[in-house]
Structure 1
Amino acid sequence: MTQYLNNADLITIGLYLLSLVVVGIYLQRRASNSLEDYIVGGKKLPFWALGTSGTAQYLDLSGTAVVVSFLYLVGPQGFFVNFRGHVILAMVIVMLWSGKYHRRSGCLTAAEWNLFRFGDGASGRFAQIAMVVSAVLITMGSLAYLMVGAGVFLSTFVPFSPDQCALALVVVATLYTVLSGFYGVVVTDVIQSVIVIFAALLVSVLAFNHIESFEALAATASSVTGYDTWSQAAPVWHADLPAGYEDYEYVSLFAVFFMLRAFLVGLGMGNESRYMGARSDKDTVALSFITTSLTSIRWPMMMGFAVLGLFAVQNFYPDQDVISSGVEIVRQAYPDVTEDKWGALVSDIGNNPENYSPALIESLKNALGENGDWNLKLQLLGYHGTVNPEKILPTVLATMIPAGFRGLLIVALVAAAMSTFDSQANWAAGLLSKDVYQKYFRKKAGSKELVLSSYCATVLIVLVSFVFTFGMTSINDVYKWIIVSLQSGLMVPTILKFYWWRFNGAGFAGGVLTGAVAAIVQRLYFPDLPEMTLLLYSMSLGGLGSVIGTYMTGPTEEKVLSRFYNKTLPMGAWKTYKEKLTPEVRARAESEHKRDIMAVPFAALWQITLFFAPLLLVIHHFQGFIVSSITSAVCFFIGYKFWYKKLPPPMEDEK
């Protein structure tokens, strides 16, 4: 099948894929008992399982490849570039308060929550449909992102194109998700998290042992990447990055900008199935803590892949000029190839050389080396004439990992992709089934019919997502549009729903639809906007649509607002409703809000240093590791002592 996987590797991969289908069939009966069982596991799953499931959701294959590419290019400073999303700083706010706000609603889905917030009238239903549309759009974009990453990754090891590899993974993931629902999502996410943690430890140790000293690594990194300050831990003001990555040159400014954005995003997050399905406020805090803590293992693993990638590229290309020569040979043979088709082309040439001109293959062998690794060297060639950093991850697996372990690591990374895939697909399918099909077409539909509608919704979402993958130039290109453009366009209405009493369903729908249209227009007509400009563009238009929609219509009904506020007790502009609370409940709410806000800097610094410390340990930056570890421990102690220990006792619905 391929020269990079032995029989043990192939057996490991095959057993993993088979086990997914078996588990899906086993859980199918339990998941199909009711729509509540299918969407949120009947609200009976323990917090540790939900938290571990969340960890698996953030350990996606595409994201791992993107982060590894930045760590390879600029070293530890790549961590700060990834404040745009992969450091999941939004989880700070979700852990402190937005997760529990969603749980208190008692709703099953994010769209149903909009009826709880805005009422079941025309305005509320408009908001509900807008939520479904935006959630499905984000999900399809996210799934496309996962598919592109999986295709790029798997095409290195098997003789198929990235699109064919992505399609194969999609078929298995869809079958599994359709069968098992949220039960299966959580059960396999727990198993997959264990696999990923073991793999992370393995890669981290291999990389750590491969480094002679921190100084020697710095010299190697500088010669391979051409970036002189690769080993610097603190973010620099300006970094010299290759073509295609110019948006990230001002690392410090970028980090601050996107840290603030992450906190804003967190203000409206927490509407995922695991929060809706949590049993208490304390469970939402505990599952967030578990998710964040376990996700920290991702960073030494990704740093390990980046370090091993440096040595792999050094071995392959001691003369960096060979890279541009190889790219030029391919371009001369295919002068019309575009960036979005480049990856598929070089992958197919390397995997199926017999289908191409003997003269082309001979030229590539002469340029890249006559021995058997010329085709793997070819995979590393980027469209812009440099190493393609998104290929570092599969290259390391093919060349730097001992035979027999490759299959295990491939399973771990595919497991990461599958766990994110099934969580996203299950969430969006639940919205379509409950908030569209049942609400507007079949109010009296039975459990079997509703679960069947979820099956159909999952398949439809996945098929459209696969179509989205065509025309995407890179994994980072997809991520940029989803996170920076689309999600930022929807950010303002998802925030205002909690913190401004006057905000209504029309405002939510107007903001969501304006933000979504702005993101689509940007993708079609302004695809090359810098990320910080892109964020301001999308956020401003989404905010404008929110305000205009709000003031074009009247306030939400008084009884709806009172019910929402009394049950959720959010912070923000709710003075009139706060004054109607009993003195005891009002004091409880004010104390809770004050402590939640004061805990933000300690929780944020705890999370940042928790992720950063093991990353520095892998590269032998021992001083930075010690400082980061002590900082994380101190912040944890302060948060535990002065915030968690002072959480109010359970409310009546939690007892």
Structure 2
Amino acid sequence: MVSLSSLDYILIISFFAITLFIGIYVSRKSGKNSSEFFLSGRNMPWWLLGLSMVATTFSTDTPNLVTDIVRNNGVSGNWVWWAFLITGLLTVFVYAKLWRKSAVNTDIEYYELRYGGKPAKFLRKFRAIYLGVVFNILAMSAVTLAAIKIGQIMLGLEPWETVIYAGVITVIFSAVGGFKGVVYTDFLLFFVAMAGAIGAAYYLVNIPEVGGLEALFANENVADKLSLLPDFNDKSALITLLIIPLAVQWWSAWYPGAEPGGGGYIAQRMLAAKDENHAIGATFFFNIMHYALRPWPWIIVALASLVLYPDLASIQEAFPNVSPDKLGHDLAYSAMLTKLPSGLLGLVLASLVAAYMSTISTHLNWGSSYIVNDFYKQQINPGASEKKLVAVGRLSTVVLMICSALLALVLQNALQLFDVILMFGAGTGLIFILRWFWWRINAWSEIAAMFSSGIISIIINFTSVGVFLFGTKTAAGVLPDWSRFPIVVLITTIIWLLVTFLTQPERTDVLRNFYQKIQPGGPGWAKVIDDAKLENIDIVNDKEGWSVPSGILAMLLGCVFIYSCLFATGYWIYGETTLAISITITAIVSGYLLKRVWVKIRAKVL
């Protein structure tokens, strides 16, 4: 437990005051109608949306999650989420403009644009509750859990106290300010959060117990954790940490903020952009910041924590007030922050509050948009006035906050929830990628994938079948543990493909209307285009052409560029100058080539 000075309190209280002021200031305009409340009138610039995406994904559980990963699996363990860069850049260069063209209010509304009939209505209604309520509450509870741990370690707060203190202000400005309030405060939250993370890393690596970067990297507890790639001689680690994420996970798994083909709060920001180019610019900026630069301050603190707290016993000994059910390696990040001096401590606490508020406010507004647009307006009160829709949006914001806070009180660690959410979305991602470009996918395909993924995950993880196949912590099963995820993906994919071909395709008018509005292009729509031509109906706009090949090339160059930036930053920090210089040159060359391809893509969009 740390003792806050007057300066620390001034910094924290000032931050709270400014965020509340922003929420109240924009409340009048945000409350005009549901479009303003959830999309801010679709007039947001790329840089503001990009900063908002970065701030949103910088939550209180993120440094805890990274710390947990680094302490257990080393720096290379982060490939479990670094692999999502591939789908992130596919969203940038292929799907961002498609989402903006759709002009839907939420990504769930897409279902009744792409599909038709009762299955489409059911899918929209069910996903609104499934994602907007269930998954959204799970994600928010992980963030709140991290806040609870920080409160316990740094301030000696009881879990319920942290929930009350952290949640009240967040839910007030989220309910009052709407999406505009969220994005405007994200602008402030981004800079506060980054300043806190970088300041903490710089100070903590230089405290006497750590002794600077050189001493840190030479420490026996740290030396074997530094590699950016898994040990190629360790087959299990290589498969789990690198091969599966890069070969299977990025395209097959649904995870909030990293949905294949875009979706969730990332789609919400693309839909709020001024135009297609602003949607592309926002998502590209986000991916650079999210993957290339932001992880390193957290990684440095995680490595330093191994010097002071090499195991769970040392954390428990240093912080005996921590509840046994909350004890985990993710606590090490908060434990390190207790070493900060006055002033910097206040800034870092404000940055953690900023991270919490940014993520929670986004999830509240995003989840509320599903409840209002895709459930309440469609199923309960189709004739609701705009004033009524905004009121329901504000009420659902409060309810979502309460539910996630209650769940957070019974959870143990962030990595636990990350794995559960990832497994439950396994196998569904390929549909989200292909549904834009293959006419044969129908609503039943998505329904089958969604239910089979969840059911199979439950069977494998929580029944005797899973124990037989994969064993337990103390005994091995028939199959290696790393095969859980690919098996769920394989079975789910087979099921939804069978359902696709065993059910009727979507109606001709639905498919033609979708193509005419979105112009996705590609051989996957050849039958629909040819059938329309036979009836002398032209649904193709030849002006733009099919930009997916250029988009995939840009994605590949973007991956080389951002991964090079990530690796180069790491090797500069490690002091491996020769390697850092060569990878920096790779980043410059790939960045130049990417710029040339991007110019062509922008020209096609315009």
Q: 1:189 to 1:513 in 2, by over 3 A?
A: same
Code of the residue aligned with 1:419 in structure 2: it is S
Code of the residue aligned with 2:198 in structure 1: it is L
Match of 2:262 among 263, 269, 274: 269
Aligned equivalent of 1:643:
598
Q: 1:175 to 1:514 in 2, by over 3 A?
A: farther
Question: 1:84 deviation in Å?
Answer: 5.6
Aligned equivalent of 1:293:
288
Match of 1:103 among 90, 97, 100: 100
Is residue 397 of structure 2 the alignment partner of residue 397 of structure 1? no
Aligned equivalent of 2:242:
255
Once residues 196 and 82 of structure 2 are traced to their aligned partners in structure 1, the CA distance between those partners, rounded to angstroms, is: 24
Once residues 449 and 548 of structure 2 are traced to their aligned partners in structure 1, the CA distance between those partners, rounded to angstroms, is: 26
Is residue 402 of structure 2 the alignment partner of residue 463 of structure 1? yes
Once residues 455 and 213 of structure 1 are traced to their aligned partners in structure 2, the CA distance between those partners, rounded to angstroms, is: 48
Aligned equivalent of 1:509:
447
TM-score of the pair, normalised by structure 2? 0.86
Aligned equivalent of 1:424:
363
The answer on whether the counterparts of 1:207 and 1:618 sit within 8 Å (CA) in structure 2 is no
Task: State, as a whole percentage, how many aligned pairs show the same letter.
Answer: 19
Q: 1:519 to 1:233 in 2, by over 3 A?
A: closer
Once residues 510 and 55 of structure 1 are traced to their aligned partners in structure 2, the CA distance between those partners, rounded to angstroms, is: 33
Aligned equivalent of 2:128:
132
The answer on whether the counterparts of 1:515 and 1:545 sit within 8 Å (CA) in structure 2 is no
Question: 1:551 deviation in Å?
Answer: 4.1
Q: 1:105 to 1:646 in 2, by over 3 A?
A: closer
Q: 1:45 to 1:531 in 2, by over 3 A?
A: farther
With 248-257 and 526-535 compared, the bigger mean Cα shift is at 526-535
Query: Matched residue pairs, number?
Result: 576
Once residues 174 and 46 of structure 2 are traced to their aligned partners in structure 1, the CA distance between those partners, rounded to angstroms, is: 21
Deviations 1:97-145 (CA, angstroms, capped at 9, x unpaired):
12221111010111211111113x2122122123213322221211111
Once residues 591 and 481 of structure 2 are traced to their aligned partners in structure 1, the CA distance between those partners, rounded to angstroms, is: 32
Q: 1:470 to 1:159 in 2, by over 3 A?
A: closer
Question: 1:433 deviation in Å?
Answer: 0.4
With 13-22 and 516-525 compared, the bigger mean Cα shift is at 516-525
Aligned equivalent of 2:528:
577
Q: 1:624 to 1:201 in 2, by over 3 A?
A: farther
Question: 1:515 deviation in Å?
Answer: 2.5
Deviations 1:551-575 (CA, angstroms, capped at 9, x unpaired):
4542211121112122223346212
Code of the residue aligned with 2:166 in structure 1: it is L
The answer on whether the counterparts of 1:208 and 1:620 sit within 8 Å (CA) in structure 2 is no
Aligned equivalent of 1:39:
38
Q: 1:289 to 1:548 in 2, by over 3 A?
A: same
Q: 1:452 to 1:564 in 2, by over 3 A?
A: same
Across the aligned residues of Structure 1 and Structure 2, the Cα RMSD in angstroms comes to: 3.1
With 60-69 and 211-220 compared, the bigger mean Cα shift is at 211-220
Code of the residue aligned with 2:191 in structure 1: it is V
Q: 1:249 to 1:10 in 2, by over 3 A?
A: farther
Is residue 559 of structure 2 the alignment partner of residue 589 of structure 1? no
Once residues 481 and 410 of structure 2 are traced to their aligned partners in structure 1, the CA distance between those partners, rounded to angstroms, is: 19
Code of the residue aligned with 1:574 in structure 2: it is W
Aligned equivalent of 2:568:
613
Is residue 48 of structure 2 the alignment partner of residue 49 of structure 1? yes
Once residues 129 and 286 of structure 1 are traced to their aligned partners in structure 2, the CA distance between those partners, rounded to angstroms, is: 31
Q: 1:190 to 1:70 in 2, by over 3 A?
A: same
Q: 1:6 to 1:616 in 2, by over 3 A?
A: farther
The within-5 A match list for 1:65-80 is 65-80=64-79
* SS of residue paired to 1:197: helix
The answer on whether the counterparts of 1:430 and 1:454 sit within 8 Å (CA) in structure 2 is yes
TM-score of the pair, normalised by structure 1? 0.80
Q: 1:251 to 1:407 in 2, by over 3 A?
A: farther
* SS of residue paired to 2:506: coil
* SS of residue paired to 2:225: coil
Deviations 1:539-560 (CA, angstroms, capped at 9, x unpaired):
3454345335434542211121
The answer on whether the counterparts of 2:179 and 2:365 sit within 8 Å (CA) in structure 1 is yes
Q: Which runs of 5+ in 2 are unaligned?
A: 254-258, 471-479
Q: 1:380 to 1:404 in 2, by over 3 A?
A: same
With 276-285 and 155-164 compared, the bigger mean Cα shift is at 155-164
Q: 1:518 to 1:26 in 2, by over 3 A?
A: farther
* SS of residue paired to 1:268: coil
